[in-house]
Amino acid sequence: VSLSMDELSRRIAVLKKEMNAVILAHYYTLPEIQQVADVVGDSLALARAAEQIDADVIVFAGVYFMGETAKILNPGKLVLMPDRNAGCPLADSCPPEDFRKFRAEHPGAVAITYINSTAELKALSDITCTSSNAERIVGMIPEETPIIFGPDRNLGGYIARKLNREILLWQGFCYVHDAYSASVIENACAMNPEAELIAHPECREEVLRLASFVGSTQALLDHTVASGATSFIVATEPGILYEMQRRSPGKTFIPAPRDSRPGGSICTQMKQNTLEKLYRCMLDRSPEITVPEPLRSEALKPVRRMLEMSA
Ligand code: 13P
Ligand code: SF4
């Protein structure tokens, strides 16, 4: 029998108490998931929350690298995910062996790796970053030190332009954000002249150049609350519109179109987190996310460095 959303939410709340669990969710998950979560945030906030949790169980509604990072940071906890096949294609686009070669071609360079990466890739890196601290972290590296950055070329390129600094980029991208083009977005802006265009740095350069504000999901959300504008075209995964609208009920939010049809560019993997699967994973205490040693300890080093540098 399939249970109603209300019944699932009720049972999840009961299980949460029984299991002494905390539910973390990313802003791109479905509204009903965000509603039952204890913490909803961007990648940095969720990593920080995961590190500090002292409940017995962490239930992570996000994509695989997020659950994996939670386990890396807090290995004593049982980490569950509603769907362990919800992977981030960007994270999976950078095979560790190829990255090892890329590093070897640039001896002496510091490797800064986006948190959207596998544990194996993190273990090959010096520092991780998220979209909310990438600029700060790159800015802390001495001018004369070369930097290699992966896997997202759009975020890396954005930081390079912002800091006027050469960065050697791995050529990965997020299919959700890379799908936006300047021409389609310009058209949306022309049709909504009063709206402010805001964009995530995983978007292409041609889109970022048009935006009046660029930032992580949390920074975009904060901006929509603080800005005097009353309508926004939002060039990031439209799951964030739920919280934007909740925080600013009087404002209008338009998902940036990816082509001539209305609607945004959806992250299918984030939407694999359904309420039903969230309930099931708690009931079954599975799928559990594990990271074997010594991989975990090796992957922890660059993540810790990031947290120290962005304190
Ligand atoms: P942030 O929430 O850290 O901005 O990351 C966006 C993203 O694509 C997560 O996968
Ligand atoms: Fe990965 Fe892009 Fe989905 Fe974020 S939006 S989880 S970067 S595929």
d(CA 310, CA 131): 12
Helix (H) or strand (E) holding 73: helix 64-73
d(CA 81, CA 273): 8
Q: What integer is the mean pLDDT of 152-163?
A: 98
- Evaluate whether 211 touches 198 at the Cβ level (below 8 Å): yes
Which atom number of ligand 1 is nearest to the Cα of residue 270? 10
- Kindly list the structural domains of the chain, giving each domain's residue range(s) and its CATH number in brackets, ordered by start: 5-87+270-291 (3.40.50.10800), 91-174+299-309 (3.40.50.10800), 182-255 (3.40.50.10800)
The bound ligand whose nearest atom lies closest to the alpha carbon of 216 is: 1
Q: pLDDT confidence of 261, banded at 50, 70, 90? A: confident
Burial of 55 (0-12, 13-18, 19+ CB in 10 A): middle
Q: What is the pLDDT of residue 1?
A: 76
Q: What is the mean pLDDT of the chain?
A: 97
Q: What is the pLDDT of residue 254?
A: 97
With a cut of 90, say whether residue 95 has pLDDT above it.
yes
Helix (H) or strand (E) holding 40: strand 39-41
In the chain, the amino acid numbered 14 is V
ipTM, two decimals: 0.98
With a cut of 80, say whether residue 311 has pLDDT above it.
no
Residue with CA nearest ligand 2 atom 1: 88
- Give me the percent of the chain exceeding a pLDDT of 90: 97
With a cut of 90, say whether residue 262 has pLDDT above it.
no
With a cut of 80, say whether residue 133 has pLDDT above it.
yes
State if residue 146 touches ligand 2 by the CB under 6 angstroms criterion. Answer: no
Mutate to test the pocket of ligand 1, among 39, 216, 241, 270 (most ligand atoms within 8 A of CB): 216
> In 3D, which of 224, 221, 220 has the Cα closest to residue 201?
220
The bound ligand whose nearest atom lies closest to the alpha carbon of 271 is: 2
Q: What is the pLDDT of residue 260?
A: 80
The alpha carbon of 236 and the centre of ligand 1 are apart by a number of angstroms equal to: 9
